Amino acid sequence: MSTNTVELHRVLKSTPDRVYRAFTTPSAFPKWLPPHGFTGTVHEMDARVGGRYRMSFTNFTTGHSHTFGGEYLELEPGKRLAYTAEFDDPNLPGRMQTTVQLREVFCGVEVKIKQEGIPSMIPAEACYLGWQESLELLAKLVEAEIKD
């Protein structure tokens, strides 16, 4: 079974801690991860090595959902995280792995994302488009400085 890999790179005007928390906070993850036109629901999130998460993306136009989940493999606050993902849909087989590296830079945080094992029936270009939209939403979440 062939698979796809995508790699993304961004610099955000934020901190490594804020970006890390966006990946590990149950209420933050669905705010930015679903690409445009989708809503997200976190069903479970145990953000610790060996812990699991489950969530779903729902197409806002059609109402069709894809549920997926996986395990946290690495969690180094403010620096790195890695997690797996498997779709519940048997037509989307395989186990993906996403690795996120964070590095503080003079103007914010450098974010490098590598997603491997994407099922071959999902075109790499569609993954890039979805991640670009997700990262746009991530920037809006983590770059905002709102004082209480």
Q: Which is more confidently placed, 3 or 20?
A: 20
In whole numbers, what is the pLDDT of the chain averaged over residues? 95
Tokens of 3: 């698979």
In Å, how far from its chain's centre is CA 126?
15
pLDDT given for residue 91 in this prediction? 86
DSSP string computed for 48-98:
STT-EEEEEEEETTT--EEEEEEEEEEEETTTEEEEEEEESSTTS-S-EEE
pLDDT given for residue 1 in this prediction? 59
Q: What is the pLDDT of residues 53-71, one digit of tens each?
A: 999 999 999 999 999 999 9
Task: Quote the percentage of the chain above a pLDDT of 70.
Answer: 99
C-alpha–C-alpha distance, residues 115 and 145, integer Å: 29
Domains and CATH numbers, the chain: 3-143 (3.30.530.20)
pLDDT given for residue 28 in this prediction? 97
Q: What is the pLDDT of residues 90-147, one digit of tens each?
A: 888 889 999 999 999 999 999 999 999 999 889 999 999 999 999 999 999 999 988 8
How many degrees, rounded to 5, is the angle at CA 24 between CA 19 and CA 26? 120
